[in-house]
Amino acid sequence: MTTITYIEPSGREVAIDVPDGWSLMQGATANGVDGIVAECGGSCACATCHCYVDPARAGELPAPSAAELDMLANVAAERRPESRLACQLKAAPALAGLRVRVADTQE
Amino acid sequence: MFSFDPYSPAVDADPFPYYKTLRDEHPAFWSDEAGMWVLSRYADIVTALNEWQTYSSAKGNLMTELPNRAGATLGTTDPPRHDRLRGLIQHAFMKRNLEALADPIRTIARDAAAPLAGRREFDFIEEFSSKFTVRVLFAALGLPLGDEMAVREKAVLMVQSDPVTRAKGPEHIAAYNWMTEYAAGVIAERRRNPVGDLISLFSQAEIDGDRLDEREVLLTTTTLIMAGVESLGGFMAMFALNLADHADARRAVVADPALVPDAVEESLRFNTSAQRFRRCLQKDTELHGQTMRAGDFVCLAYGSGNRDERQFPNPDVYDVRRKPRGHLGFGGGVHACLGTAIARLSVRIAFEEFHRVVPDYRRVQAQLPWMPSSTFRSPTRLDLAIH
């Protein structure tokens, strides 16, 4: 388990223990975190699990794949350097304590 | 001695008591009848979906696989090949790229619903959902009209299996072969006259400079047709059944059509049409005290994960206000259903239009005839009566 802190669009913060290997999208949807739609179910095909990772730690994360970069072009909210798709980030000890802000709008 | 036979008509009719025992007492269960392990808890299924290196799809994903299909479709390949294949076609299935289909889908729904006006009793499947789904598929793929009903009949037959032999029967294989030949005809036509649509694009696509394998083009197209007809139709029948059986839910949805999307999500959870898919282990894996061996097949029972009380409180209640996010009604992970957006769009529009004509209905048959299938679950006939 790796603890991830999600910041919902309302500003509410929720700390969730996400099983290692699960995506941050799965950790959010399985625990009722608000604001992630995940229309495509985690196959990197919809850009509705857009989130902003803590900019100070963005560089520690595995770089986005070509497919994720391709799909990030479709996000509904503002795209920033720290924009990621939560379905493409896997919980792992290196991410412990990561703060992830859910984008205000997904569609 | 507990047993679980996904070929049994009793499991087709009501798998849920078996699932409850599986989840509580045998969370990693070897089914002799299926010849595979069965995972039934939500968390174990999600983990298996994530670990595609361990739980491979390359030996097939249908519980009873069709001959010569594994390795040539999206659902039966692993990354990285899978990701590149999917990258070629998923653009066409993104929500924003389907908006142009909304009006044609609504016209199809109206045309299919109109003859039901004034009827006191009808078969929802024969007289509404089968007409609707096949026409939506033909519109989405730009297929020439004329063969719709044959395509529908074969799509429904090819996903079935024989409960006695626990295998595909000759009629199922014949339907699959028919569908493959039908797809081959469409592909050949698009290559002669490309029209910039999905099949034209796909049939000429390359990955890393190589043309797609002919079998990939053919069987992926065959699978798209099968899913568009059988999976969408099966799900619509289950949704209609839920609304027929839960009058309060139906009245709420009819009074406020904005509730349809939530009712659809809850239906995907509560009565999942894709009940079970399978994977093949690539290494020995310990789970819940069992040792599953490399080469063993593993059933991921989505229909059980969606009723897992460890994930969904009061799982056996159909609650249209539940918002069951993370449900497994479309599978999950890299292989999550390609058609989620078109399925949601189509079902929403179909029921908006159906409810304009038939707002109040109930189920007629006490016992439903269930499709014999180890993978999918839906009735073959659903008689509805007007109140």
pLDDT above 80 (res B211): no
Residue B6, token pair as written in the block: 């996904």
pLDDT at B106 over 90: yes
Confidence (pLDDT) at B139 = 92
* pLDDT tens digit sequence for B142-186: 898 899 999 999 999 999 999 999 999 999 999 999 999 999 999
d(CA B48, CA B281) in angstroms, rounded, equals 10
* A52-61, B159-168, B206-215, B330-339, range with the lowest pLDDT: B206-215
Backbone angles phi, psi at B63, to 5 degrees: -55, -40
- pTM tops 0.90: yes
Q: What is the pLDDT of residue B203?
A: 87
Instruction: Provide the ipTM.
Output: 0.94
pLDDT at B315 over 80: yes
pLDDT at B207: 76
d(CA B259, CA B200): 37
Taking the CA of residue A49 and the nearest CA in chain B, the distance in Å comes to 12
Compute the distance between CA of residue A24 and CA of residue A90 in angstroms, rounded to an integer: 6
Q: A26, B86: Cβ pair inside 8 Å?
A: no
Instruction: For an interface test with A, give the residue of B44, B46, B57, B96 to mutate (most A CBs within 10 A).
Output: B46
Residue of chain B whose Cα is closest to the Cα of A37: B325
Rounded to a whole number of angstroms, the distance from the CA of B284 to the nearest CA of chain A is 18
**DSSP per-residue codes, A24-40:** HHHHHHTTT-TT---TT
Asked if pLDDT for residue B257 goes beyond 90, the answer is yes
B210 - beta bridge partners?
Answer: B207
Residue B90 pLDDT greater than 90, yes or no: no
Q: Over the stretch A8-63, which tens digit does the pLDDT of each residue have?
A: 999 999 999 999 999 999 999 999 999 999 999 999 999 999 999 999 999 999 99
Partner residues linked to B55 by β-bridges: B281
Cβ-Cβ contacts under 8 Å, A67 against chain B? 83, 87
- In this predicted structure, the answer to whether residue B208 has a pLDDT above a threshold of 80 is no
Asked if A21 and B50 come within 8 Å (Cβ–Cβ), the reply is yes
Long-range contacts formed by B137-142: CB under 8 A, 24+ apart? B137/B225, B137/B228, B137/B229, B137/B232, B139/B101, B139/B104, B139/B105, B139/B108, B140/B101, B140/B228, B140/B342, B141/B186, B141/B197, B141/B198, B141/B199, B141/B224, B141/B225, B141/B228, B142/B195, B142/B197, B142/B198, B142/B199
